[in-house]
Amino acid sequence: MQTFGDERIVPKVSRDLTVGTHMRSRSHVPLATLGLLAACLLGSHAFAANANHCSDRNVSFDGTKPLHYANVIGPQGSRIYLRTQVPARCPASDESVCRSSAFAEPGDAVAVARTCGAWAYVQHIGKEKISVGWIARDDLQDRHALLPVDDGEPGRRKRPDAWPAPATIRVKLTKGRGIPVCEAYLQRLNQTVFHEPAFCGIPENAQVPGFLDLQRKTLAAAVVNQLFVKAWNISRDTGPGNEMVTPPAGKEDLVGELLINGMIGETFKRLTDKDNISAWAYEPRVDIENDGKPENVTIWRGLPPVWLTNRFQLLHACGVSSLSGFGVEGERTIPFILHEASDAIDVGQTNAVFGVQGMSQAVPPLPGIQSKLAYLPLGISADAFVYRGKSYFSAFITEHTNEVTSGRLDPVEAGHLSVYFDQAGVTQEICRYENTDALRHWGEL
């Protein structure tokens, strides 16, 4: 006996009823007709008992209720057509009446939201089209994906005090409905267990069909130290006397000194590989420009990029309660593209893919400072992902540019999450998601 999801597949039962020839009908109704009537009555009784399960009303594939996933099975080259209703609901005996033009092929993955006896109500995300309908459960093989997906504690750090227990979030798709990657990412967002606010980073999750399980490789301390000053200066409002500088000889324990009005305002210690570094590359590399040439994409969470365990290690540790007592702190997650040898940031390529174009007009210079901001990321927290062989990145967007350039983030103002796709030198927003949980604001309790 096969199993599927949380239910068992019951072997097919013949609906043929044998009526003894010794029986007589007092109403002179042919025995064959009586047999058909009996079958209909028995069938309708069984159907009525499962009417709620056999209806596709109020069924959603957005992931707010955990979905099961299955692979379509069958002879190679065959087509499994989706039905608009289970056979018991079809108005005629001709099975073609309820058969839609949409179909899935063996090897395709489908999301299962509901089952009715030997039938399953599924969503098939094709290359360009999304279809829903009923498929026989004998044509499906369970993928054994347990959702929601719990990826565990991130970064070997303690859970933020503002996020006391693992939890899911609730989002809705407001741009990109009907686009395969947008609908699939919606399922991923709503079925991922977060151990910290979502704006602190989207965990890897390949349980939803189509997503590649990207392998994050922590950057070596030597690489971070070499690039730290440049990373700070190109992504912050800086100017003469107000910038990060490399410490002079004799201060080898420092990686950077922040000048404020020409004076040293803050110093940053050089990292070692024993530090809990929160910057990573991808292995294999991600073809973020979708041109067949993988780029050396790195993601830096914070500057300096170190996983923090409490709010006293740094004022703006992501997800911890604000020292002011209001809300929680945010920390930027910034993407950079490095040169092949990881010895320098490719500022031009980084800005072309991940940056706001024309940012000199978008970000006014600070009063009294000659701004030389070279790179304004599209969002305050970015994550890369690969879906069906194409690369994308998501970013939380806020209308307040001062929150972006200062490195601060008010989670309430992380208005929406966007998904971007870059190809032929053009980065476009294709999906947009908004929070529907008024209690959390993308992560704040």
pLDDT at 160: 67
CB 65 within 8 A of CB 117: no
E-strand spans in 181-295? 192-193, 216-218, 244-245, 254-260, 263-269, 279-282
367 in any annotated domain: yes
Distance from C-alpha of 320 to C-alpha of 445, rounded to nearest angstrom = 11
Structural domains in the chain (count)? 2
444 in any annotated domain: no
336 in any annotated domain: yes
pTM greater than the 0.85 cutoff: no
Residue keyed to tokens 């910290």: 196
- The last residue of a domain, from among 110, 142, 174: 142
Distance from C-alpha of 242 to C-alpha of 233, rounded to nearest angstrom = 10
Q: Are residues 358 and 216 in the same domain?
A: yes
Token digits for 169? 């979030």
Q: Are residues 281 and 216 in the same domain?
A: yes
- Mean pLDDT, the chain cut into blocks of 10 residues (445 residues total): 36 26 35 37 39 76 94 96 85 71 96 94 96 96 83 67 78 96 97 85 90 94 96 85 92 94 92 91 96 97 77 55 65 92 94 80 46 78 95 82 41 71 94 74 43
Q: Are residues 223 and 309 in the same domain?
A: yes
85 in any annotated domain: yes
152 in any annotated domain: no
Q: Are residues 309 and 225 in the same domain?
A: yes
Q: What share of the chain is helix, strand, coil (3-state, %, to 5)?
A: 20, 30, 50
Q: Are residues 261 and 127 in the same domain?
A: no
CATH code where residue 108 lies: 2.30.30.40
Q: Are residues 223 and 371 in the same domain?
A: yes
Q: How many residues does the chain have?
A: 445
Q: Are residues 67 and 128 in the same domain?
A: yes
- Residue of 311, 325, 219 whose CA lies nearest to 272: 219
Q: Are residues 99 and 234 in the same domain?
A: no
Q: Are residues 236 and 345 in the same domain?
A: yes
Pairing mode of beta strands 68-72, 109-116: antiparallel
441 in any annotated domain: no
Distance from C-alpha of 79 to C-alpha of 37, rounded to nearest angstrom = 33
- Upper half-sphere CA count for residue 40 (Cβ side, 13 Å): 11
φ, ψ dihedrals at 259, nearest 5°: -90, 135
Q: Are residues 104 and 202 in the same domain?
A: no
Token digits for 151? 């990826």
180 in any annotated domain: no
- Tell me which residue range forms the domain holding 276: 192-435
175 in any annotated domain: no
- Residue of 401, 412, 405 whose CA lies nearest to 442: 412
Torsion of CA 90, 94, 100, 103, to 10 degrees: 120
CB 191 within 8 A of CB 148: yes
- The last residue of a domain, from among 142, 161, 180: 142
φ, ψ dihedrals at 181, nearest 5°: -65, -35
Q: Are residues 130 and 213 in the same domain?
A: no
- The last residue of a domain, from among 142, 165, 183: 142
Q: Are residues 297 and 224 in the same domain?
A: yes
Pairing mode of beta strands 333-338, 382-387: unpaired
